[in-house]
């Protein structure tokens, strides 16, 4: 009996100890989902503890965490954070001088590791080729821009000082805004639906700079309030959604893409938006919405796909208010897939961002377009559609889009794009041009040059430029852009002066540098601009 009582006492004590450990673990997880640091203690080694390249940062006399890199390098600091569910990330950030592709910084909101050069993470980038603020997704060493801010926002040799706010709803809906110091109201940048990271363990800051800019980056008032829970939820109030409020199954993220835009319709035609199924599986697109935003950031009601519309693998469909007018004007064959709907949301002729939404208002794709994206040789842009070169190219990159060819009256609704180019061919070496001679004259035949590249490992940044035979720089295609192990860059024949390159033979210089291995890859290949 004594032995039994002793066993029960021991078991009760063990259960109590286990419960205490679990409670302590839960409290620790909750704490790690909240990070607050003003660096008021003059240090970053405790409360919370930041680790990484500690010798590359200091807390200055003004109480800012300041970079102090001595050469051209990348450095970072991390602290534990499990916040990835619904939450808010806010921080103050300052950069002295232009924030570009060689001198930029990033705040990592959520990461699965403390090695920020190879991780799965969401981060806000300050700088880049567009000199903007952006929300990005990092998949290993591959980087994807999810939200892009105003171009050239940081393209000035001055002090850029801002408060950045990123939020994430429980369903994976991210939003980004910034407030320049001295302004009374924040500026809304954009939002997107993205939910790839199953859990977070770290947050962090990263600086990449040249030898002369090592002290130009400042951070302060870092505040994270979030949840480690990443379960998706479905909105239950249909009246809050654009469209007609029908509750339909959601299309998987990145399964569909906006494929063609007719935003300035001809007199005898109509506006239309074409979408394409990027997968090998049939997709029900009934109830999906094409729309824009109001001035306050909310969605307009938009144009809704009718019922019983299914896209087979890699099939496209155009949505318009008059299938008859569109089919007749663009001389479409019977096989062209064009459907009608009530056109409640016109597409502004001067440019806008158009969204493809699920019925629950989650964003499947978005494209920011302007008339300037048309080929410069097209003088009359009215009645000319913008076409995506390939469904897998990024939607928000202007080089993904090209003016439709004249073969079908400058539009290919519901059928294969006139500007479609295959990306399947693998390069025979490290770099290959397709074609080596192209004619950027807007006729739909070899209007762009695709630069296929293949790197021996991850971690390369590239500078790609075009020169005349005498050494005069004509165009910059990439300026410190982080490369995938293999991919495609595009030159549309435009020069840095915004004109079409004249007919002739040019030299394309492709240089890639891996900061981790020190390996340098350089290629010089001829590229020919021709006419027809």
Encode burial over 484-516: b for 16+ CB neighbours within 10 A, e otherwise: beebbbbbbbbeeeeebbeeeebbbbbbbbbee
pLDDT tens readout for residues 420-458: 877 654 444 478 898 889 988 877 788 899 998 888 876
Q: Is 80 exceeded by the pLDDT of residue 376?
A: no
Please state the rounded mean pLDDT for residues 146-171: 90
Q: Is 70 exceeded by the pLDDT of residue 246?
A: no
* pLDDT reported for residue 21: 41
Could you tell me if 445 and 413 are in contact, meaning their C-beta atoms sit under 8 angstroms apart?
no
Residue 237 burial (CB count, 10 A): 7
Could you tell me if 408 and 499 are in contact, meaning their C-beta atoms sit under 8 angstroms apart?
no
pLDDT tens readout for residues 76-131: 999 999 999 889 999 999 999 999 888 999 999 999 999 998 899 999 999 987 88
Q: Is 60 exceeded by the pLDDT of residue 279?
A: yes
* pLDDT reported for residue 266: 94
More confident of the two residues 146 and 243? 146
pLDDT tens readout for residues 297-328: 889 989 999 988 888 888 999 999 999 999 99
* pLDDT reported for residue 196: 82
* pLDDT reported for residue 231: 47
Q: Which domains does the chain have, with CATH numbers?
A: 28-225 (2.60.120.200), 242-408 (2.60.40.1260), 431-529 (2.60.40.1220)
Q: Is 80 exceeded by the pLDDT of residue 482?
A: no
* Ordered DSSP codes for 52-83: E-GGGEEE-TTS-EEE---SSEEEEEEEE---
Q: Is 50 exceeded by the pLDDT of residue 250?
A: yes
* pLDDT reported for residue 222: 96
* pLDDT reported for residue 458: 63
Helices (H), 351-420: none
Which of 183-187, 227-231, 279-283, 404-408 holds the top average pLDDT? 183-187
Confidence at 531, pLDDT banded by 50, 70, 90: confident
Q: Is 80 exceeded by the pLDDT of residue 34?
A: yes
More confident of the two residues 178 and 47? 178
* pLDDT reported for residue 532: 61
Instruction: Please tell me the distance from the alpha carbon of residue 339 to that of residue 331, in angstroms, as a whole number.
Output: 16
Which of 3-12, 134-143, 193-202, 269-278 holds the top average pLDDT? 269-278
More confident of the two residues 198 and 14? 198
> Per the structure block, which two tokens stand in for 3?
């032995």
Please state the rounded mean pLDDT for residues 255-280: 94
Residue-averaged pLDDT of the chain: 84
> Per the structure block, which two tokens stand in for 515?
């900061």
């Amino acid at each position: 009996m004594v032995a039994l009582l002793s066993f029960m006492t021991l078991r009760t004590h063990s259960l109590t100890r286990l419960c205490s450990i679990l409670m302590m673990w839960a409290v620790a997880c909750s704490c790690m989902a909240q990070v607050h640091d003003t660096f008021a203690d003059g240090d970053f080694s405790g409360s919370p503890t930041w680790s990484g390249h500690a010798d590359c940062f200091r807390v200055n006399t003004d109480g800012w965490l300041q970079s102090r890199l001595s050469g051209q390098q990348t450095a970072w600091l991390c602290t534990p954070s499990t916040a990835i569910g619904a939450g808010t990330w806010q921080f103050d950030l300052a950069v002295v001088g232009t924030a570009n592709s060689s001198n930029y910084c990033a705040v990592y909101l959520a990461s699965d590791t403390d090695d920020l050069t190879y991780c799965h993470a969401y981060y806000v980038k300050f700088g880049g080729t567009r000199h903007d603020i952006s929300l990005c997704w990092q998949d290993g060493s591959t980087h994807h821009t999810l939200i892009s801010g105003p171009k050239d926002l940081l393209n000035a040799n001055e002090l850029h000082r801002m408060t950045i706010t990123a939020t994430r709803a429980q369903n994976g809906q991210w939003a980004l805004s910034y407030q320049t110091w001295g302004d009374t109201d924040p500026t809304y940048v954009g939002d997107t639906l993205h939910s790839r990271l199953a859990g977070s363990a770290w947050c962090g800051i990263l600086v990449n700079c040249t030898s002369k800019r090592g002290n130009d980056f400042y951070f302060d008032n870092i505040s994270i309030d979030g949840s480690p829970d990443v379960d998706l939820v479905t909105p239950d109030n249909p009246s809050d959604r654009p469209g007609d409020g029908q509750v339909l199954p959601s299309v998987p993220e990145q399964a569909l893409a906006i494929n063609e835009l007719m935003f300035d319709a001809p007199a005898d035609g109509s506006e239309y938006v074409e979408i394409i199924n990027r997968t090998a599986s049939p997709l029900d697109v009934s109830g999906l919405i094409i729309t824009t935003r109001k001035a306050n950031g909310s969605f307009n009601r938009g144009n809704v796909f009718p019922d019983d519309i299914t896209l087979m693998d890699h099939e496209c469909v155009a949505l318009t208010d008059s299938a008859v007018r569109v089919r007749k004007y663009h001389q479409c064959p019977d096989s062209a897939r064009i459907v009608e709907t009530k056109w409640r949301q016109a597409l502004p002729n001067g440019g806008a961002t158009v969204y493809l939404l699920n019925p629950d208002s989650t964003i499947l794709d978005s494209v920011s377009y302007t008339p300037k994206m048309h080929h410069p040789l097209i003088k009359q842009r009215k009645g000319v559609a913008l076409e995506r070169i390939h469904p897998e190219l990024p939607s928000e990159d202007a080089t993904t889009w090209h003016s439709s060819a004249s073969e079908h009256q400058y539009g290919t609704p519901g059928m294969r794009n006139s500007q479609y180019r295959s990306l399947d061919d693998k390069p025979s070496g490290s770099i290959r041009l397709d074609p080596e001679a192209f004619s950027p004259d807007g006729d739909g035949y070899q209007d762009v040059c695709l630069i296929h590249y293949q790197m021996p490992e991850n971690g390369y940044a590239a500078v790609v430029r075009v020169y005349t035979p005498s050494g005069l720089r004509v165009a910059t295609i990439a300026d410190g852009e982080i490369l995938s192990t293999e991919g495609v860059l595009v030159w549309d024949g435009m020069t840095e002066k915004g004109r079409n390159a004249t007919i002739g033979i040019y030299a394309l210089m492709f240089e890639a540098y891996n900061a981790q291995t020190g390996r340098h890859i350089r290629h010089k290949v001829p590229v020919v601009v021709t006419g027809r």
